[in-house]
Amino acid sequence: MGHFSSMFSGLARSFSIKKVKNNNGTCDAKEAADEMGFGCQEDMIFCGIFDGHGPWGHYVAKHVRNSMPSSLLCNWQKTLAQTALLEPELDLEGSNKKFSRFDIWKHSYLKTCASVDQELEHHRKIDSYNSGTTAITIVRQGDVIYVSNVGDSRAVLATTSDEGSLVAVQLTLDFKPNLPQEKERIIGCNGRVFCMKDEPGVHRVWQPDTEAPGLAMSRAFGDYCIKEYGLVSVPEVTQRHISVKDHFIILASDGIWDVITNQQAIEIVSSTAERPKAAKRLVEQAVRAWKKKKRRGIAMDDMSVVCLFLHSSSSSPSLSQHVQHATTFK
């Protein structure tokens, strides 16, 4: 497996579109992200978790991690420019708008995921036929976050309830093959969904006539051996307005959530005195839980965590990340 976390933070002065051209006259958004900050926007951050699986999972995850930010930024800039041409006096904050910021980001994410997956399929140096990756990413723009999810990694928000306690709010759906809408799509494409006898409760996607590949998620980049049988790389895109009650968001691969509940995770992070150590501490707690399972013959999964703190200060960074490969503990 291969796990990668990724983050780009942006600092700029205005909401204007910065057009970036390369020598071929096409958009090269990576240059904009590297030189001016993500999107050339004030208070704008991109972060994500990419959880690879299969023999080439490490390379697939790395490729998607490297490709997605620049592709997303380029598609966002193009969509914003096209929208401005259609509605020159567009007010993205207005109540009577035809195109909202969410519509623009959702459209950009859909185009990005489709193009990244297609690019991966034709990559000459990466064999993604039996390998793939999840991708859960967040763009924060001002007081709004846009969440895109492909696979079974998860985003969890820590917020204060009306009673004053810290509670966990799951922002994403774990795309497992047994979810009704996912199973219906897979079966409609002649794929199969069932559990192995020695793995009760673990639903996997199988080809029509062979017991392969046995993928434990219904959406992923790569895995072209099962793409024609219902696996998709289409993201679920959602948004949330950040309030003063919202504290931080945890992005983590399924290896964390297999042994740690949402509530346990936010309590571990919130009780960590130093923000940069929060993600590592959460992984360490998960490793302890996995070791207990290992005694019962269950192998430990790799784990990646990014903690995005929503209200940062000059003395406390807004991001904490940690990647832990299970091989370290075998």
Tell which residue, 291, 233, 271, 325, has the closest CA to residue 307.
Answer: 271
135 has a pLDDT exceeding 80: yes
Q: What sign results for the dihedral spanned by CA atoms 288, 289, 293, 298?
A: negative
Greatest CA separation found in the chain?
Answer: 64
Mean pLDDT value across the chain: 84
pLDDT digits (tens, 9 = 90+) for 162-202: 999 999 999 999 999 999 999 999 999 999 999 999 899 99
Which amino acid, 299? Answer: A
What is the rounded CA–CA span in Å between residue 78 and residue 84? 10
For 78, 94, 105, the CA distances from 84, given in Å and listed in that order, are: 10, 14, 14
88 has a pLDDT exceeding 90: no
What is the rounded CA–CA span in Å between residue 61 and residue 305? 15
Cα-based torsion angle of the residue sequence 151, 174, 306, 47 in order, rounded to the nearest 10 degrees: 50
Tell which residue, 256, 269, 261, has the closest CA to residue 320.
Answer: 269
297 has a pLDDT exceeding 90: no
Burial class (CB in 10 A: 0-12, 13-18, 19+), 289: middle
Across the range 52-67, mean pLDDT stands at: 96
pLDDT at 36: 46
pLDDT band at 61 (very low <50, low <70, confident <90, very high): very high
Which range among 42-51, 98-107, 265-274, 286-295 shows the weakest confidence by mean pLDDT? 286-295
266 has a pLDDT exceeding 80: yes
Contacts for 179 with CB less than 8 Å, ≥ 6 apart: 173, 218
pLDDT at 11: 25
Contacts for 300 with CB less than 8 Å, ≥ 6 apart: 255, 287, 290, 291, 293, 294, 326, 329, 330
* Percent residues over pLDDT 90 in the chain: 69
Sort residue 248 into left (φ over 0), alpha (ψ -120 to 50) or beta: beta
**β-bridge mates for residue 193, sequence order:** 205
pLDDT at 19: 37
Which amino acid, 34? Answer: D
97 vs 215, higher pLDDT: 215
pLDDT band at 226 (very low <50, low <70, confident <90, very high): very high
What is the rounded CA–CA span in Å between residue 57 and residue 3? 8
321 has a pLDDT exceeding 80: no
221 vs 314, higher pLDDT: 221
